[in-house]
Amino acid sequence: MSARPRALRGMAAVVLDTDGVITDSARLHAAAWKTAFDAYLRDHPPAGPAQRRPFDAQEDYLRYVDGKSRMDGAAAFLESRGLRLPDAELQAVAESKERLFTGRLREHGVNAYEGTVRLLHALRSAGVPLAAASASRHARELIEHAGVLDLFDALVDGGEAARLHLPGKPDPALFLEAARRLGVPASRTAVVEDALAGVEAGRRGGFGLVVGVDRARTPQTRAELLKHGADVVVRDLAELLTDSDCPKG
3-state helix, strand, coil in the chain (%, to 5): 50, 10, 35
Among 223, 230, 243, residue whose Cα is nearest residue 199: 230
Instruction: List alpha helices for the chain, DSSP H.
Output: 26-43, 59-60, 70-80, 87-108, 114-125, 139-145, 158-163, 173-182, 196-204, 219-228
Report which DSSP code applies to 245. P
Indicate the residue type of 159.
Answer: G
Say if CB 106 and CB 142 are below 8 A apart: no
Buried b / exposed e over 152-189, threshold 16 CB at 10 Å, is bebbbbbebbeeeebebbbebbbbbbbbebbebebeeb
If one counts every other C-beta atom within 10 angstroms of the C-beta of residue 50, the result is 8
- Please say whether the dihedral angle defined by the alpha carbons of residues 141, 16, 23 and 221, taken in this order, is positive or negative: positive
Catalytic residue among 17, 66, 194, 214: 17
3-state secondary structure at position 152: coil
| Known active-site residue 24 | no
Number of neighbours of residue 9 by Cβ within 10 angstroms: 10
Determine whether 56 is an active site residue.
Answer: no
Q: Which of 19, 24, 72, 157 is catalytic?
A: 19
Residue 124's alpha-carbon distances to 49, 118, 120, 182, in angstroms, are 52, 10, 6, 14
Q: Would you please indicate which residues are annotated as catalytic (active-site) residues?
A: 17, 19
